Amino acid sequence: KQWYQRRVAITAGIESKNENSSKVISEFRNDCLSWVMQIIKHSNSKLLHQFTKFLFIYSYFEVKGECKEFPEAKPPNPKLSQVTIDFCKTKFNSCLKLLSNQSADEDSKRKGVAEDGRYWIYHLMSSSLLLVTNEQFPMLCDITCFEEWTALWSVIDEVEAKSPKSRSSEEWAFELLFLHAGILFFDEQEQARIVLNDVFQCYEKHKSGSSDDWKSILVDLLISILSYESLMLRNVACECFKMVCHDLDSDSIQLIMTALESTDNDEENDEEMEEESGSDESEDGDDEESSDEDDDDDSEGEEEEEDENDEDEIEEEANVKKEKSTDCDSALIPLL
């Protein structure tokens, strides 16, 4: 009931004659989304999926009319501002992450699975097929890569033709990658196209069974995804690796070791540069002290204090760089 009331408030907006009415409405809608998020994230998976679909619609589609297939979507009055649309996208990604860690099927060993054994994100992507062909929901950003979009669904339908219990762990991993790449189509089409081309290449080699090259290609792709800004995609890469890590070859393992070694080398290079910078600054400080031998004790104390501050700043920068390197290592560790 609370969720329904908040949803009505979001879509209805506020009638105001104030000059800042659009800003007030946007802030109110964003607050409502945050409130609903707090309620939904502690509820069951079905309600979380429903709210995630609600956010998906308002993030990437303009709702012009009502539709019986999507009763949760109603035309907002006034229209959503770009600020609210961006806020919907942020909350959508957060909900999608929560949903990917929940399973309604207690017997399933995989995360993000509904009661029917399929991924929650599959049901969400199935809704997108109805949305893109519905005149009441024009897309805010048209899909231009139609070939990749069509090929994406042909593979998903091929995998879904098998029952959940008869699929291999590799097929589950490929489907998860394809589904998240499909979501990426609505936001970053060029990046989605690049990811899809690599996944298609791996999948075709895996399906043909002609060689084991797909393993090293897939591992290389998963490692590259770890460098993406999207936390959702990085989590997906780790989940997919868990599904295929039982059957890796030596080339795949070598790729992981090379990635770890490169992060170690980067850290060593950063430390060397910091040491050189510190030695240069200390030499400059010695020159300044020798040239100012006639200064009084107070000025010498100030110079020493400045040198200490410089050393503190250098140490802080080193700690930041080490933290970044540690983050990279921690992202690669799950792949081992």
Q: Would you write out the chain's pLDDT as a tens digit for each of its 336 residues?
A: 655 565 555 555 544 445 457 778 888 888 888 888 888 877 778 888 889 999 999 999 999 988 888 888 889 888 889 999 999 999 998 888 888 887 766 666 778 888 888 888 898 888 888 888 888 888 887 777 777 778 888 888 888 888 877 888 888 888 888 898 888 888 888 888 888 888 888 888 888 876 667 778 888 888 888 887 777 778 888 888 888 887 777 887 888 888 888 765 555 555 556 655 555 555 555 554 444 544 444 444 444 444 544 555 545 554 544 444 444 455 445 444
- Please calculate the CA angle 189-191-196 and round it to the nearest 5 degrees: 90
Strand partners, 61: 139
Tokens of 186: 């609505």
Query: Two tokens at 117?
Result: 């054994």
pLDDT at 55: 92
Contacts 24+ apart (CB under 8 A), 317-325: 317/274, 318/270, 318/271, 318/274, 321/267, 321/270, 321/274, 322/267, 325/263, 325/266, 325/267, 325/270
pLDDT of 266 reads: 57
Angle between helices 146-160 and 169-184 (to 10 degrees): 150
Residues 6+ apart with CB under 8 A from 215: 244, 247, 248, 249, 251, 252
- What per-residue confidence (pLDDT) applies to 305? 47
Q: Which stretches of the chain are DSSP H helices? A: 2-12, 21-40, 45-60, 82-100, 120-132, 146-160, 169-184, 189-208, 213-225, 231-244, 250-291, 297-332
What is the pLDDT, as a whole number, of residue 118? 85
Distance CA 31, CA 178 (A): 33
pLDDT of residue 280: 54
